Amino acid sequence: MIKVGIVGGTGYTGIELMRLLASHPQANLEVITSRSLAGTAVDELFPNLRSLVDLNFSEPSVNAYGDCDLVFFATPNTTAMAQAAELLDNGIRLIDLAADFRIKHVPTWEQWYGATHACPELVEEAVYGLPELNREAIRGARLVANPGCYPTAVILALIPLLKNGMVDPGSIIADCKSGTSGAGRNANVGTSFCEVTESVKAYAVPGHRHLPEIREVLQGLDSDVELVFTPHLMPIIRGIHATVYADARGAADQVQNLYEELYRDEPFVDVMPAGSHPETRSVRGANMCRIAIHYLPAANKYVILSVEDNLVKGAAGQAVQNMNLMFGLDETSGLKAPGMMP
């Protein structure tokens, strides 16, 4: 059994990690931390975990994770980097669900996150945890940077086209929508029910922190990539819907086959039949990214539709997928549940 710790067990990604790991056949939850709720039973706060998680929240401390094989950081940005070196020195592997290790160019990270990086020497070692791109590197990693939710949907939408030179890399527009859980669990007027229901709004149009992450990863596929990325807030709890536009290059008659072939053996990417329109509700609760590709001949453009649950394939589920790879397990272990409908 893999002995697992979760740092930050009261946010939405921490809760989702507990839900997934509670029934994982080869992982055992050893410690779950919360500075404000130390000593409180986990199932007192989250009754859905009754009889599944028999632990109290603990004070966050490097010493608390001493018996763990792996620690997940489901914490705000800049938290994991303060403890990463000591954990790794103690032989404990780490998956960070925040952004501390996602961007390789440290000055860019510092510019967007407004902080001095605490361990830049570890940034190069960290593996970007998108299995569909970096599966073999993840298998041997000590430190994995779990991708952001928007980046996961956008990057998976574009990999086949960029790998095969089938789009103008400077023409990409990613128009993305997210459920309110993506903003976190802390009370906030802007994401409260009365403020978001029956309304849709764009935000961070001049620049969102996921933009440099998406750009850096896509430029690894084509160095000429540039893109416009506009996120929107939707009045739903879970879900990402990315509509990605790009100018087409070359013949488009084989693009459906291209997507199907590239993702044929990917357990958590579903390429839908030509002409499909995937819905966020079809992936709610599942570790799945569902994609459909459209070609508009009059405009000579591709429109790629990509949906996922921001808390699962966009966060905790992908983190468990990475854990499975790091420890030589079946990649789908603990992640086979389908989406919840209605």
pLDDT value at 192 more than 90: no
Q: Is residue 325 part of a domain?
A: no
- Whether residue 285 sits in one domain with residue 172: yes
289 catalytic per annotation = no
pLDDT in the model for residue 184: 84
- Whether residue 296 sits in one domain with residue 168: yes
Please give the full DSSP string across 38-104, using - where no structure is assigned: TTSBHHHH-GGGTTT---BEE---GGGGTT-SEEEE-S-TTSHHHHHHHHHHTT-EEEESSSTTT-S
Residue 248, strand partner residues? 167
pLDDT value at 110 more than 90: yes
Query: What predicted TM-score, i.e. pTM, was given to this entire model?
Result: 0.97
Mean pLDDT (the chain, rounded):
96
Tens digit of each residue's pLDDT (9 = 90 or more) over 65-77: 989 999 999 999 9
Q: How far apart are CA 317 and CA 308, in angstroms?
A: 11
Structure tokens at 288: 């799945």
3-state DSSP assignment of residue 307: strand
Q: Which one is catalytic: 119, 149, 176, 289? A: 149
Q: How far apart are CA 136 and CA 336, in angstroms?
A: 21
Tens digit of each residue's pLDDT (9 = 90 or more) over 9-45: 999 999 999 999 999 999 999 999 998 899 999 999 9
Q: How far apart are CA 36 and CA 10, in angstroms?
A: 10
- Whether residue 246 sits in one domain with residue 117: no
List the domain range (segments joined by +) for residue 264.
149-310
Confidence of residue 118 (pLDDT cuts 50, 70, 90): very high
- Whether residue 198 sits in one domain with residue 115: no
Q: Is residue 318 part of a domain?
A: no
- Whether residue 164 sits in one domain with residue 87: no
- Whether residue 298 sits in one domain with residue 182: yes
Q: Is residue 332 part of a domain?
A: no
Burial status of residue 222 (CB atoms within 10 A of its CB: 0-12, 13-18, 19 or more):
middle
Cα separation values, 297 from 65, 76, 116, 327, Å: 56, 44, 48, 46
Q: What are phi and psi of 37, to 5 degrees?
A: -120, 20
Q: Report percent pLDDT > 70 for the chain.
A: 100
pLDDT in the model for residue 189: 86
Bond prior to 338 in cis (omega within 30° of 0): no
Q: Is residue 315 part of a domain?
A: no
Domain harbouring 187, CATH code: 3.30.360.10
Confidence of residue 190 (pLDDT cuts 50, 70, 90): confident
Tens digit of each residue's pLDDT (9 = 90 or more) over 206-222: 999 999 999 999 999 99
Q: Is residue 181 part of a domain?
A: yes
Given 125, 157, 183, the domain boundary residue is 125
Average pLDDT over residues 169-180: 97
Domain harbouring 45, CATH code: 3.40.50.720
Average pLDDT over residues 295-315: 98
- Whether residue 173 sits in one domain with residue 111: no
Average pLDDT over residues 57-84: 94
Confidence of residue 188 (pLDDT cuts 50, 70, 90): confident
More confident residue, 339 or 342: 339
Given 109, 125, 141, the domain boundary residue is 125
Q: What's the number of domains the chain is made of?
A: 2
- Whether residue 95 sits in one domain with residue 173: no
- Whether residue 163 sits in one domain with residue 265: yes
Q: Please tell me what DSSP assigns to residue 126.
A: P
